[in-house]
Structure 1
Amino acid sequence: MVVREKFELELQELKDMLIELSACAAHSIRGSFEALEKQDMELALEIIERDERADLLEEEINEFAIQLITRQQPVAIDLRRIIAAIKIASDIERMADFGVNIAKAAIRIGEKPFIMPLTLYKEMHDVTLEMMNLSIQAFKDDDVVLARKIVFMDDKVDILYGQCMKELLKLSHENIQQVTQLSLIARFLERTADHTTNIAENIYYLVRGRYLDLND
């Protein structure tokens, strides 16, 4: 096998590891929100316990990427691809952490009745999860059009986050402990969307060699 072919296989292996990590993060966000909705403490604990896999994967990706840079001394788009992989892995791992944080908040709320409907939270969760799925698709396909779409989707999450906080302010006298946990959950979802936007911006840089200008 010639050197270039081996390098291409290694780049594909790096991509596959990122796809696996993104699946872990998506499972964490999806599962933790399901645990919240159903007030399922066992599911919440399962999400927390599974977080170790995401942490290990990020470490493996970083080590593999550094080995590639050291051995292959890549330039141009190959180097950008490896650097982008390191940055994207960090963002994905943080999203998995946010899933764990939501699960912990769900446990703190427990089985007490919700002080407000979770409608806005569910909508925020759905948009965020779609952004996560689209970001990994954009990464797999080097799709800058999809990357730009993801960046603009973040605006909807920001609006929903603002609506959640306004509703919680109206209820601040009801149950301060649950208000606190629900406000944290909204923040974790909003931050997840922000990290997804970071991924989209890194994909744009990977393909175009410059950062995304929203005025383009």
Structure 2
Amino acid sequence: MPTRQKFDEDLEGLRLNILDLGKMVNQRIVLAVESLIKQDMEIAKTVIMGDLAVNELQAMIEEKCILIIATQQPFARDLRKVVAGFKISIYLERMGDLSVDIAKITVRIGEDQLIKPLLDIPRMTVLVEEMVNLGLQAYVQEDCKTAAEMAAIDDEIDEIYSSVFGELLGIMMKNPSQVTQANHLLFVCRFLERLGDYCTNIAEEIIYICTGKRLNLNE
């Protein structure tokens, strides 16, 4: 098999693995938040126990990237594709960890009555899900424009986080008995805000593939 053909096939395999990882992580984020909203311990435990599958797929992607660099010795844009793919897989694995953290908070809250309607958390989750889907689409198409536009969605997530932070802080000041759960919900919002940041990190890697330049979309 010609060297270039082998390299292209390896790159395509890498791209498909990253897409699978992204879809897996996106599903786990949605499930983790669903477990919290419904206070469903079984869904939460499913998310927690399923973290191994995410870790294993990320480890496989890492090995594949190392093998491609060692055997194909890519350069320029080809090398950027491999390096960016490796970093994207790391960001996705960390996002999977955050979904586990949200599910663990579901378990900690248990069946206690929620101190407020969970309206902001689902809104943040929808935006995170949109960012992940856009990021995967931009990665496959190497679409620099779509990747850059993801920063605006992250700004929306940050605005919601700031608003709910103030609301929960007010609850803690007025009702000391609700401090523990308010803290738990604050952590969930913080985790979702971090998920948005990781999505912008993924967008930065896509821009790097296209242009060879490093941008900071979180500024």
TM-score normalised per structure 1: 0.97
The answer for the alignment partner of 1:105 in structure 2 is: 105
Counterpart selection for 1:188 from 191, 194, 203: 191
Report what 1:2 is aligned to: 2
Q: Which amino acid aligns with 2:191?
A: F
Task: Give the Å deviation of 1:60.
Answer: 0.7
Q: How much has 1:213 moved relative to structure 2?
A: 6.8
Matched position secondary structure for 1:131: helix
The question of whether the paired residues in 2 share the 8 Å contact of 1:171 and 1:179 is answered with yes
| Alpha-carbon distance in 2 for matches of 1:123, 1:115 | 18
Distance in 2 (CA, whole Å) between partners of 1:72 and 1:151 is 34
Residue segments in structure 2 that go unaligned for 5+ positions in a row: none
Distance in 1 of aligned mates of 2:127 and 2:18 = 21
Kept in 2, the 8 Å contact 1:154–1:194? The answer is yes
Does residue 208 (structure 1) correspond to residue 203 (structure 2)? The answer is no
Give the CA deviation at 1:177: 1.4
Residues of 2 paired with 1:108 and 1:23: CA distance? Answer: 27
Alignment check: 8 A CA contact 1:115 1:174 kept: no
The percent of aligned pairs where both chains have the same amino acid is 38
Aligned partner of 1:177 among 174, 177, 180 = 180
> In the TM superposition, what whole-angstrom CA distance separates every residue of 1:122-175 from its partner, at most 9, and x where no partner exists?
111110111011101110110111101112211111101001100101111241
Alpha-carbon distance in 2 for matches of 1:213, 1:58: 24
TM-score, with normalisation over the residues of structure 2?
0.95
User: How far is the alpha carbon of 1:212 from its aligned partner?
Assistant: 3.2
Residue 37 of structure 1 and its aligned partner are, at CA, apart by 0.7
Shift of 1:104: 0.3
Partner of 1:153: 153
Residue in structure 2 matched with residue 132 of structure 1 by the alignment: 132
CA distance in 1, matches of 2:107, 2:20: 27
Structure 1: gaps spanning 5 or more residues:
none
Aligned partner of 2:87 in structure 1 is: 87
CA distance in 1: counterparts of 2:80 and 2:188, whole angstroms: 34
Instruction: Tell me the amino acid that sits aligned with residue 131 of structure 1.
Output: M
Question: Helix, strand or coil: the match of 2:54?
Answer: helix
- Paired with 1:213 and 1:185, the residues of 2 have a C-alpha distance of 25
The structure 1 segments of at least 4 consecutive aligned residues displaced by more than 3 Å after TM superposition are none
Aligned length: 214
Displacement of 1:211: 2.2
Instruction: Show CA shifts across 1:180-199 (max 9, x none).
Output: 11011001100000000000
